[in-house]
């Protein structure tokens, strides 16, 4: 049983999809800072870079957007689907200087959010998503979602949309269209066609740079993309948005209206339905499996590495069967974690070594099967010569960690800090440096409590941190909340208040 939970507060909207109480997907959007992906702009070409086969386009944002030549020229090979035997040869992309001109005004759509020093990635191939289909006004193709497996149904849908679609336009049939009749398709196709006409007319009337059409906010994208017959309930904790959701659902899928439920606005619904706890675990580096095995996830911007270990799982009698069972369990959970964390790009998985080729194939098949439930396209490529399994997951939006986490200012993303011994050596160097620069008879060293205890233990064990000096005294001052990396050495007057010094710890 699938359910959708929407938590609305003055600062952000969070949407969770669960199945039998387990969190499957989580999306977050800050109110007032909605994502740009899907927005359509009229932009002006600012720079053309033939060496990169790209151009920078002003769309009115902080940085110019990036347009690759391959996102201008149509490539039919991108629209091949599993059931179609015919393959087309990819189009040779011409020099971008032959396609675009300086200061040219073009209609573009955002493919990828800006990040770091980069602006948005854009395309000239506009797509207008609906519940049952995606209209492609600039591409003349008909494709059917790979998640519709029945070949006869795929062929039926393809024939219907080949006949219904506007001339010169294309359609991708979504999973929600499976089993529906032609009248439903005609209704949505008419709406999307009229929407495109309004967008095109507005684009002809205004000058660049200008926003022409804004994509739906997270809440309404969730209704469009996730709220299907498989979802038994749609919970929301905000009366104002509840009314908007009911109106939208009554218009688009009236048969699901009674599944929209308003909860108490003062209630933390993510706590009530155990979502908050599961969400916190989604940021853990180490993921434990029910068997006692675990895997570790290391994320970078373009590559994610996953390392599987047996952990506490010892199996029964057969070592090879223990290993393959652990790997299969890990494969199923890895597919779930990739979807939950919304990790995209290249994924490399180091499963526990398997000697038997058949067992390797069992694990690869288990991973591919688990990825079938993912709404985002996944491709399990197989095993490398080093025994690593490679796969890709399409980048649709920022991953969950990028939306709710920020880099640690102390470790700079490394995930590690210096050892206590290293900090003790840092104290030694800092004190000796201060002795030379600012000679005094009394010094106070401010450190974190854990470092203070470590230094005291060193001294009590006879491992003096500082050389003996009868003319100089050293005191430790514990600063609660101070980071362990921080060390501050203060030269003090010999006549310092004795009562004050009693609060400090001598380590000379």
Residue 277: phi and psi, rounded to 5, are -65, -45
Q: What angle in degrees, to the nearest 10, is found between the helix axes of 357-371 and 319-341?
A: 20
Residue 374 has pLDDT above 70, yes or no: yes
Which among 467, 485, 474 is positioned nearest to 423, based on CA atoms?
A: 485
Residue 296 has pLDDT above 90, yes or no: yes
pLDDT digit string (tens) for 69-84? 888 876 554 444 444 4
SS3 391: strand
Helix (H) or strand (E) holding 370: helix 357-371
Q: What angle in degrees, to the nearest 10, is found between the helix axes of 449-460 and 420-437?
A: 90
Residue 120 in tokens: 């948005």
Under the banding of pLDDT at 50, 70 and 90, the label for residue 364 is very high
The pTM is what?
0.77
Q: Residue holding tokens 């640690």?
A: 408
* pLDDT mean over 222-251: 90
Within 8 A by CB and 6+ apart from 444, the residues are 475, 476, 477, 489, 490, 492, 504
First to last CA, the chain: 67
> In Å, how far are 295, 311, 348, 364, 383 from 353, measured between CA atoms?
14, 14, 14, 13, 11
Please say whether the dihedral angle defined by the alpha carbons of residues 11, 13, 18 and 24, taken in this order, is positive or negative: negative
On whether the CB atoms of residues 447 and 487 are closer than 8 A, the answer is yes
Give the span between the Cα atoms of 506 and 508, in whole angstroms. Answer: 6
Give the span between the Cα atoms of 118 and 61, in whole angstroms. Answer: 12
pLDDT of res. 311? 81
The CB-side HSE value for 319 (13 A sphere, CA atoms) comes to 5
Q: Is 353 exposed, middle or buried (0-12, 13-18, 19+ CB in 10 A)?
A: exposed
SS3 164: helix
The two beta strands, 133-136 and 12-19, are: unpaired
On whether the CB atoms of residues 118 and 173 are closer than 8 A, the answer is no
* pLDDT mean over 234-258: 90
Find which of 86-90, 439-443, 446-450, 457-461 is predicted with most confidence, using mean pLDDT: 446-450
Give the span between the Cα atoms of 501 and 497, in whole angstroms. Answer: 7
The 10 Å Cβ neighbour count of residue 42 is: 23
The 10 Å Cβ neighbour count of residue 313 is: 17
pLDDT of res. 288? 92
* pLDDT mean over 151-166: 92
pLDDT digit string (tens) for 321-349? 888 989 999 999 999 999 999 898 899 99
pLDDT of res. 79? 46
Instruction: Tell me the Ramachandran region of residue 325: left when phi exceeds 0, alpha when psi lies from -120 to 50, beta otherwise.
Output: alpha
On whether the CB atoms of residues 208 and 43 are closer than 8 A, the answer is yes
pLDDT of res. 82? 44
Q: What angle in degrees, to the nearest 10, is found between the helix axes of 239-252 and 218-226?
A: 40
DSSP secondary structure string, 406-433? ---TTTTTSS----HHHHHHHHHHHHHH
266, 272, 275, 278: CA torsion to nearest 10: 130
Residue 446 has pLDDT above 50, yes or no: yes
Which among 311, 317, 310, 351 is positioned nearest to 331, based on CA atoms?
A: 351
């Amino acid at each position: 049983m699938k359910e959708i939970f929407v938590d609305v507060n003055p600062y952000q909207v969070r949407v969770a999809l669960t199945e039998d109480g387990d969190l499957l997907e989580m999306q977050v959007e800050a109110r007032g800072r909605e994502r740009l992906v899907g927005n359509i702009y009229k932009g002006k070409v600012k720079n053309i870079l033939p060496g990169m086969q790209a151009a920078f386009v002003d769309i009115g944002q902080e940085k110019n957007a990036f347009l690759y030549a391959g996102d201008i020229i149509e490539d039919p090979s991108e629209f091949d689907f599993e059931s179609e035997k015919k393959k087309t040869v990819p189009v040779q992309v011409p020099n971008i200087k032959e396609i675009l001109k300086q200061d040219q005004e073009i209609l573009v759509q955002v493919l990828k959010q800006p990040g770091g020093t980069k602006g948005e990635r854009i395309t000239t191939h506009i797509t207008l998503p609906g519940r049952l289909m995606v209209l492609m006004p600039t591409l003349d193709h008909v494709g059917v979602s790979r998640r519709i497996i029945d070949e006869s149904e795929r062929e039926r849908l393809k024939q219907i949309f080949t006949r219904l679609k506007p001339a010169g336009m294309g359609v991708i049939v979504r999973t929600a269209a499976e089993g529906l009749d032609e009248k439903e398709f005609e209704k949505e196709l008419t709406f999307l066609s009229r929407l495109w006409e309004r967008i095109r007319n507005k684009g002809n009337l205004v000058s660049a740079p200008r926003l022409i059409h804004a994509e739906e906010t997270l809440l309404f994208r969730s209704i469009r993309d996730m709220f299907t017959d498989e979802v038994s309930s749609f919970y929301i904790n905000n009366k104002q948005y509840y009314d908007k959701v009911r109106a939208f659902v009554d218009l688009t899928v009236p048969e699901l209206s009674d599944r929209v439920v308003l909860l108490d606005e003062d209630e933390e619904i993510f706590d009530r339905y155990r979502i908050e706890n599961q969400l916190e675990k989604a940021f853990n580096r180490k993921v434990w499996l029910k068997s006692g095995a675990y895997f570790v996830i290391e994320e970078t911007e373009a590559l994610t590495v996953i390392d599987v270990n047996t952990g506490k799982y010892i199996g029964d009698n057969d070592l090879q069967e223990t290993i393959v069972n652990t790997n299969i369990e890990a494969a199923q959970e890895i597919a779930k974690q990739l979807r939950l964390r919304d990790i995209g790009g290249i994924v490399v998985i180091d499963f526990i070594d398997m000697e038997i080729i058949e067992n390797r194939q069992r694990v690869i098949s288990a991973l591919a099967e688990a990825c079938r439930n993912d709404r985002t396209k996944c491709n399990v490529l197989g095993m490398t010569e080093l025994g690593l399994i490679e796969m890709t997951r399409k980048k649709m939006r920022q991953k969950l960690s990028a939306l709710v986490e920020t880099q640690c200012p102390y470790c700079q993303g490394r995930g590690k800090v210096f050892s206590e011994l290293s900090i003790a050596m840092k104290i030694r160097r800092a004190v000796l440096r201060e002795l030379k620069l600012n000679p005094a008879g009394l010094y106070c060293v401010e450190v974190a409590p854990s470092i203070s205890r470590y230094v005291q233990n060193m001294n009590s064990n006879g491992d003096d941190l500082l050389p003996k000096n009868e003319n100089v005294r050293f005191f430790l001052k514990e600063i609660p909340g101070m980071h362990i990396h921080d060390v501050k050495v203060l030269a003090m007057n010999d006549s310092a208040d004795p009562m004050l010094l009693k609060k400090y710890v001598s380590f000379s």
